Structure formats: C-alpha cells, structure tokens
A = this chain, B = another copy of it.
Amino acid sequence: MAARKRAPSEESLEPQPKSQEKPTTTNSTTDLPPIAPSKAAQILKLSLIFFVPYSYLIFSHYSIDADLKRSIIINAVLSSVGFFVTLTMIPVASRYVLRRNLFGYDINKKGTPQGSVKVPESLGIVVGIVFLVFAILFQHFNFTSDSNWLVEYNAALASICFMILLGFVDDVLDIPWRVKLVLPSIAALPLLMAFAGHTTIIIPKPLIPYLGLEVLDLGWMYKLYMWLLAIFCTNSINIHAGLNGLEVGQTIVIACAILIHNVMQIGVSSDPEYKQAHAFSIYLVQPLLATSLALFSYNWNPSSVFVGDTYTYFAGMTMAVAGILGHFSETLLIFFIPQVLNFLLSLPQLAGFIPCPRHRLPRFDPQTGLLTGTNDGTLVNLFLRQFGRMSEKSLCILLLVFQAICCCFCFLLRWFLTGWYK
C-alpha cells in the first residue's frame, strides 16, 4: 500500500473548512502567503556533478553523429527552458492548489512550528504538464525521425499523459489503494499496443550450452513483462517515499544514471537502430530530469511543496517508457535496486500477512528532531534500524547516496560482464 507522503488534508480528524479568504473568486489567490523561495541555486550547483561529465561524454569523449548530437542538444536546450518554466509555475500553481484545499501537513515535523504549515500538494501536475508541452514541442525539432519513431513517441506521450491524468485524479479524489495499483496497467496500454520492437532476448553466453539457442523469442510474454515493468516502476517509487525530497531525489539520481548509460551506449555502438533507441530514451529523460530539478528546488528539505501521487506515477511511467522503448529494461531494473528492495521488504505488509498501518513512516521526536525506525517493512525504517536515529535530512541524503551506489554498481556489473555474457 502506498504510504501517503504526508498526512493529506482529509487525514486530519478536524473537519476542514474552506479557507475564509475564498468567498470571492477573483482576488483570493493574492491573499494567501507565498511559499518559501526555491533552493534552485544550491540544487543547480550540486547537479554539476552530473552535468559536467555528461556533457564531456556527449561532446568530447565519444564521436557521435552530427545529426544525433544536434537532436540531443536541442532537446537539452528545450529541457533547460522547461526547468525555468517549471520553476516559475510552481509558486503560481501552489496558490491555486491551496485555494482548493489540496494540502497536507508534514508529519515528520509534527510538534514543531513547521508541522502546522499547510504545504500545497500535488505539484507534480505542474511538472507533468510542462514535461508534456516540451516533449510535444520537441517533435517539431527532431530531425532524425521516421514513421516508426513517431508511433513510439506518440504512444509514449499518450501513456505518460494518461498516467499524469490518473495520478492527478487519484490526488484529487483519493482513490482506494487497490484501484491505485491497477491504474498504471491501464496507462501502459498505448505503449504495449505501439511496441513494434523485437520480443526476443539474447541468452547469456554461459547458458547457451545448456539451452541450445542464442536468442529466444518470448512473444506475448515479453509484452507481459513490459506491462509488469511499467506497473512496478510507477508503484515502487510511490511506496519508497515519506521523507522530504525522497521521491524527486530518487528520480533525479536514476535519471542521471539512465542518461549516462544512454550516452555510453550511443558512443560505443555502431548499430544505428540501437543508437536510435538510446537517443529516444534521452529525449524523454532529459526533460524529466530538468523539470524534476525544478520541483526538487522547492521540495528538498524542508519541503515548501509536496509532489503528490501525480509526480511519482509520472516519473515512474516516464522511466519505464524510456527503459522499454530504449530496450534497456534489465539495466533499468538494476538502477531500481533500492526500489526492488523496498518492495520486497513491503510485501508481507502489502499482502496482509503483517498488519499494515495507513502510514509506515518512522517515528518523529520533536524534542531531538530525529527519526527513529519502526518495525514497518520499508527501506526508510530499515536504514534507521541499522544506522540508528538520525535527522530526516541526513536519512534522505543517505538513501539517495545508496541509490547512486546501486547505479554505479550497475555500471560496474556491466563492465565486468561485457563480452562475457552478451
């Protein structure tokens, strides 16, 4: 069951009167206080850790076709504009969202002054809409397009758009969690219908003697696998949550890893179709990274806005789509190791063997400002139980570092196994 990130407005037991400023429709948005300024400068400086090596790889280290390079750069420029647009729109949208009582209280600050601030929810809708606009506009600029590419791209947009819609409907109407599990399966359908690629897998070399074949055509089983992957990616990000900045942070780390992987594969490969597949992934993940960085500037500890299921579903689906249509879904799964671990830890409670509370968040002590792990089956609580009590910020940083380590482990694994298994 997805742990709600923060106590949403309907969770609190006092009935919620609509804000008193709201009786007139015209000027009420200006009465509400603005959210805290973004931490964009800080975030951008940190992100150089990624952007500098990434740009080096694209421009200098590898020799990439001029056309392809130009498309990637155009996409990067559009994504940067998307970053600024998202950065500007989040405070604007926050006023509208607060006006409609879509807010929550930060449970992990309960007992401190910060814990009684109304934090606007579902700002993932801003990220989603800006992403869609720029992803749609990019089609016009992409020079290396052909009909098959357009089908996959439009199917990707349809799937991602449908997921954002379902995520936002969930945030607004608060759908029962069993229905929530099923939503990504519906949103993934355009993807499945349009997938025109190979449904074959390459047998790892060590196993060829035992199986007697080099490639295996899985047919409909491959489509089933894609479908399950989409459902998994969206829901797994949703349940690995609960700390300020964790949802966006994990997405950013994985997105960086995906982009580095894509660039490396384009650089070393000579198969144009293979390069096109990885470029396709870049075209989706660059805007995801840029808009997420903008959201992170407001969502990092202490959170000025909450992201909502809209964001986690959107991010999960976008990365699943990139992995599926870019043909690197096994690599994606290794990037997702923390999410997989979290899912496995959560299984007993999700399946009902162990009682599952509404929130499986750690316990916050207002006196010390530290979190203590409970016995719930989540990675957050596991880390607290292993490493002792710590502040929310430190814990989140630790988890993000763990995410980065898993991604690096994936690169190491691929390097060791190159030539050996494929």
Contact = CB atoms under 8 A, between A and B. Distances in A.
A162 B132 contact: yes
A10 to B, nearest CB: 6
Nearest to A13: B23
A100 B173 contact: yes
A18 interface: yes
A287 to B, nearest CB: 15
Nearest to A97: B173
B136 A100 contact: no
A154 B194 contact: yes
A178 to B, nearest CB: 13
Total copies of this chain within the assembly:
2
Interface string A1-36: 000000000111111111110111100000000000
A413 interface: no
A168 to B, nearest CB: 7
A129 interface: yes
Interface string A371-390: 00000000000000000000
A173 to B, nearest CB: 4
A321 to B, nearest CB: 13
Contacts of A228: none
A408 interface: no
A137 B169 contact: no
Contacts of A128: 165
A169 B129 contact: yes
A277 to B, nearest CB: 17
Contacts of A93: 173
A394 to B, nearest CB: 31
Given A16-B18, A136-B162, A154-B155, 15 more contacts: A10-B99, A11-B25, A15-B17, A15-B22, A15-B23, A16-B22, A18-B18, A99-B174, A125-B169, A147-B147, A147-B151, A150-B151, A154-B190, A157-B158, A172-B172
12 contacts: A10-B100, A11-B25, A13-B24, A17-B18, A100-B172, A125-B169, A129-B169, A133-B189, A154-B155, A158-B161, A165-B165, A168-B172
